[in-house]
Amino acid sequence: MAKIIEKLSVFLPIYNEEENIEGVVLTTKKELQKIAAEWELILVDDGSSDGSPELEEKLANSDKRIRIIKHKTNEGYGATISTGLYAGTHPWIAFIDADGQFDFKEIEIFIKKQKETGADLVIGYYKKRQVSAIKILTSKIWEFTVFVLFGLRVKDIDCAFKMISKKVIDTIPHLESERGAFISSELLIRSEKAGFKIEQVPVTHYARTKGAGTGRNLNVILKSFGDLFSLWKKLQ
């Protein structure tokens, strides 16, 4: 069967996902074997304190195309995304969260969209987001602020399912954010400012069934807004 993409790097940001990581890795690997002639799967562990590291070692030992990058301490979601993006070696780099709330089979929609449009980034937006109303509200406030400051108009800035050309990562400055709310915004703002084309596709979002999300606290939100205004000043 012909592959629909020649080379693809995929990474999973992981923090205390021992109940989900094995299933997500195996389903992601199965899809990669189906669609890509060459692939790698990078497990970026952000200082997990549960059984995730042991499971990651087991999975990496089962296939040389699976590799692990470990943060010695918990550096934050943004730093984990940044690590994964710059670790990818193939012309296209994709990622999903490791919590089982996405179906990696939908990467085929991203690849199709990229081929149709010539996009440099294809980003997901939720058909229906399976999170609390307060998270949806804070996301909308954030997206409105980003639009006002930078003119960036996308349906879901922080949807954790994206596919990005490596030339984007090699071109834009190293991403600075260590906070989840800001990392996606910084990536998209810098990419658009550099002239790269962004396209969007709908993705399914499933309710978390195992483990607990780390969520977002007020301190992180306030610091993310501070980062956002700092970037705005820097790019003026």
- The pLDDT of residue 223 is 74
Task: Tell me the C-alpha distance between 73 and 96, whole Å.
Answer: 21
Q: Please give the average per-residue pLDDT across 144-152, as a whole number.
A: 88
**pLDDT confidence of 203, banded at 50, 70, 90?**
very high
pLDDT of residue 57 exceeding 90: yes
Query: At 231, which helix (H) or strand (E)?
Result: helix 218-234
Q: Please give the average per-residue pLDDT across 133-144, as a whole number.
A: 78
pLDDT of residue 187 exceeding 80: yes
Q: DSSP letter at 72?
A: S
Identify the residue with better confidence: 143 or 55. 55
Class of domain 5-234: alpha beta
- The pLDDT of residue 76 is 87
- The pLDDT of residue 169 is 96
- The pLDDT of residue 182 is 82
State the pairing for strand pair 161-165/92-96. antiparallel
Identify the residue with better confidence: 88 or 222. 88
